[in-house]
């Protein structure tokens, strides 16, 4: 990249989102990122992004709130310039067998993971089409591909992201805009740290490479999909899971 463009990363304060923000900063993007409430973690991401040589804008923004998302995108434009790359990484889990799942946990996960991803794609879409330029990477999960017991809400949200992204990819391809999905397996972050030890041990047995992935490894894949090296790839779901599907 000759002049710095702007990448917007949701859920950029921690985990995979932070690794993506830092990686895209090193790739030459200025970075906007949002999070829900963790200001200390956001300050740490800001520091890492600045060390990578990028300008940064961040603020709390509930991805499920369409008005807040529109305002965050507009403020990013005023501070850094128009968004050129969007990575939707914000996500939550509320695990339970379906028959025990509180209805509000169904809605929280769908509203955050699926509607949140829609809200950001919807908010940058017109700008991308007007400029005939833009790239989107949405974060799914292998749970969205294969399902996972106790994760009917999460798996539905992630499968929804895949269907939504494929549809959007078809709509915007004529404008030169690419939309891809990354579906990680077990990645070492706060989200997987919170799992009971028994679940972690079981998960490990199902991974042929016999280890969890690193957030940096997911960030490398996102960096590739965002870049022109992936200029002929759109509408794909790329799994990064240590071979779980084998």
Residues designated catalytic: 154
Q: Which of residues 196-235 bind ligand NAP (CB under 6 A)?
A: none
**Pair 239, 181: CB distance under 8 Å:** no
Judged by beta carbon, residue 4 or residue 49, the one nearer ligand NAP is 49
Only segment of 33-41, 165-173, 202-210, 219-227 that touches ligand NAP (CB under 6 A): 33-41
186 is a site residue for ligand NAP (CB under 6 A): yes
* 112 contributes a contact to ligand NAP by CB under 6 A: yes
| Separation between Cα atoms, residue 8 and residue 30, nearest integer Å | 9
Q: List the x/- string, 54-93, binding to ligand NAP by CB under 6 A.
A: -------xxxx------------------------xxxx-
The answer to whether 189 contacts ligand NAP (rule: CB under 6 A) is yes
Number of neighbours of residue 241 by Cβ within 10 angstroms: 22
Beta strands 83-88 and 6-10 are parallel
Check: CB of residue 69 under 8 Å from CB of residue 61. Answer: yes
User: Which of 38, 235 has the CB closer to ligand NAP?
Assistant: 38
Distance CA 65, CA 59 (A): 14
Q: Which is nearer to ligand NAP, 4 or 244 (CB)?
A: 244
CB of 34 or CB of 86, closer to ligand NAP: 34
Residue (of 15, 165, 136) closest to 73 by Cα position: 136
Answer for which of 125, 134, 160, 184 binds ligand NAP (CB under 6 A) is 184
State the Cα–Cα distance between residues 203 and 231, nearest whole angstrom: 34
Question: Distance between CA atoms of 115 and 109, rounded to whole angstroms?
Answer: 9
The count of residues interacting with ligand NAP (CB under 6 A) is 31
Residue 117 tokens read as 């991803």
Which residues have CB under 8 Å from 228's CB, separation 6+?
none
Instruction: Check residue 138 for interaction with ligand NAP (CB under 6 A).
Output: no
Q: Which stretch binds ligand NAP (CB under 6 A): 35-43, 50-58, 74-82, 95-103?
A: 35-43
H/E element holding 136?
strand 135-139
Q: Of 214 and 235, which has the nearer Cβ to ligand NAP?
A: 214
- Crossing angle between the packed helical segments 15-27 and 39-51, to the nearest 10 degrees: 20
Q: Which residues contact ligand NAP (rule: CB under 6 A)?
A: 10-11, 13-17, 34-38, 41, 61-64, 89-92, 112, 139, 141, 184, 186-187, 189-192
């Amino acid at each position: 990249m000759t002049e710095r463009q702007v990448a917007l990363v949701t859920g950029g304060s921690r985990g995979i989102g932070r690794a993506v923000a830092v990686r895209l900063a090193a790739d030459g993007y200025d970075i906007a990122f949002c999070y829900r409430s963790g200001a200390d973690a956001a300050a740490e991401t800001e520091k890492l992004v600045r060390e990578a040589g990028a300008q940064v804008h961040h603020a709390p923004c509930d991805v499920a709130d369409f008005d807040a998302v529109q305002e965050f995108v507009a403020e990013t434009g005023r501070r850094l310039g128009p968004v050129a790359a969007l990575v939707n990484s914000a996500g939550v889990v509320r695990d339970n067998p379906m028959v025990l799942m509180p209805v509000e946990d169904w809605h929280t996960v769908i509203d955050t993971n699926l509607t949140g991803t829609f809200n950001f794609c919807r908010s940058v879409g017109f700008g991308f089409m007007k400029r005939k330029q833009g790239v989107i990477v949405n974060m799914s999960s292998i749970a969205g591909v294969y399902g996972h017991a106790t994760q009917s809400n999460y798996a539905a949200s992630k499968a929804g992201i895949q269907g939504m992204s494929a549809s959007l990819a078809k709509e915007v391809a004529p404008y030169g805009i690419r939309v891809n999905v990354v579906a990680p397996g077990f990645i070492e972050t706060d989200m997987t740290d919170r799992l009971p030890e028994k679940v972690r041990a079981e998960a490990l047995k199902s991974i042929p490479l016999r280890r969890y992935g690193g957030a940096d490894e997911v960030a490398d894949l996102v960096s590739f999909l965002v870049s022109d090296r992936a200029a002929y790839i759109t509408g794909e779901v790329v799994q990064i899971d240590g071979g779980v599907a084998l």
